[in-house]
């Protein structure tokens, strides 16, 4: 490792972590929800609510994060737990605000803003993004307008209303997942395509990074940016897993 890599690595050094304080991790039914128990005691969110989800499969995936801890408990390696905490403490009861924020992203969706050049980048954008826009127009009744460059283009109110109708019925857990994926990609359509099994999570992630990957192919990859992207990808994958297991 060279000096620059050592400096970057030190920026990502973990804070002092709490010692593991439990032995057994189990999942139990609690009033129709699947709750995670540590040595028989319920896990609590930072807001002191019980950490419980509607899906046994999802609960087992969360439990596996707790089982996988070593002598210390490292929240950085527990993205599903973090996401569920956010859903319970931050999204539940605030669903309308979360829907509004996702719709705000749809109003300036990444997929609608195309490069003016070079031709190679424009071709990659068209290849990755056009099928998703066509699906949204046809299946969701939400055609969106395209623009060249970064100048904002207003989207049809009927299309935004159609997207709202798609998102509003979702509960706090699925909204939390969609919100995380939307924030990380700059697109509301890509997470919806994953949720509706139109795109794999990997394809959606790659589509969101067409521009970045083009720049990397031309100029190389910055190590610090690479580490940030890996951290964001971990959170994206956790949200996609929630949608899959829900």
pLDDT digits (tens, 9 = 90+) for 72-90: 999 999 999 999 999 999 9
CATH of domain 17-74: 3.30.2180.10
Enumerate the CATH 3.30.2180.10 domain ranges in the chain, comma separated: 17-74
- Give per-residue pLDDT as tens, 181-225: 999 999 999 999 999 999 999 999 999 999 999 999 999 989 999
For the residues 91-100, what does the mean pLDDT come to? 98
pTM for this prediction: 0.91
SS3 80: helix
Q: Kindly report, as residue ranges, where domains of CATH 1.10.3580.10 are found in the chain.
A: 95-245
What is the Cα–Cα distance from 61 to 225, expressed in whole angstroms? 29
Please give the C-alpha separations between residue 154 and each of 122, 126, 132, 157, 165, in angstroms, as whole numbers: 21, 20, 19, 9, 19
Query: Residue range 44-66: average pLDDT?
Result: 97
Instruction: For residue 95, report the phi and psi dihedrals to the nearest 5 degrees.
Output: -55, -40
Q: Which two tokens stand for residue 69?
A: 């801890």
Two structure tokens written together for 6? 């050592």
DSSP 23: S
Residue 187's nearest CA partner among 128, 110, 129 is 110
Q: Which helix (H) or strand (E) holds 10?
A: helix 3-11
Where residue 1 falls among pLDDT bands split at 50, 70, 90?
low
Q: What does the pLDDT look like over 105-144, one tens digit per residue? A: 999 999 999 999 899 999 999 999 999 999 999 999 999 9
Q: Binning pLDDT at 50, 70 and 90, where does residue 150 land?
A: confident
Helix axes 223-245, 79-86, angle to 10 degrees: 60
pLDDT score at 221: 87
Q: Which CATH fold would you assign to the domain 95-245?
A: ATP12-like fold (1.10.3580)
* DSSP-derived pairing of the beta strands 25-30 and 33-38: antiparallel
Determine the Cα–Cα distance for residues 126 and 144; give it in Å rounded to an integer: 14
Please report, to the nearest 10 degrees, the dihedral formed by the alpha carbons of residues 214, 219, 224, 226 taken in order.
30
């Amino acid at each position: 490792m060279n000096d620059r890599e050592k400096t970057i690595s030190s920026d990502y050094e973990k804070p002092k972590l709490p010692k593991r304080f439990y032995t057994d991790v189990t999942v139990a039914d609690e009033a129709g929800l699947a709750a995670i128990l540590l040595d028989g005691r319920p896990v609590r969110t930072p807001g002191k609510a019980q950490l419980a989800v509607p899906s046994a499969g999802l609960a087992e995936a969360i439990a596996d994060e707790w089982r996988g801890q070593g002598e210390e408990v490292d929240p950085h390696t527990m993205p599903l737990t973090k996401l569920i905490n956010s859903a319970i403490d931050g999204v539940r009861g605030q669903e309308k605000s979360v829907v509004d924020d996702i719709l705000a992203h749809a109003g300036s969706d990444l997929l609608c803003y195309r490069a003016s050049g070079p031709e190679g980048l424009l071709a990659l954008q068209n290849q990755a993004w056009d099928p998703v826009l066509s699906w949204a127009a046809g299946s969701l009744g939400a055609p969106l307008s395209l623009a060249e460059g970064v100048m904002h283009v207003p989207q049809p109110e009927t299309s935004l209303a159609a997207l709202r109708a798609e998102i509003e019925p979702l509960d706090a857990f699925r909204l939390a997942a969609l919100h995380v994926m939307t924030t990380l990609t700059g697109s509301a359509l890509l997470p919806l395509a994953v949720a509706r099994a139109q795109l794999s999570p990997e394809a959606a992630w790659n589509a969101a990074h067409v521009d970045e990957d083009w720049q990397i192919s031309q100029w190389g990859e910055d190590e610090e940016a690479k580490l940030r992207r890996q951290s964001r990808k971990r959170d994206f994958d956790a949200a996609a897993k929630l949608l899959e297991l829900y």
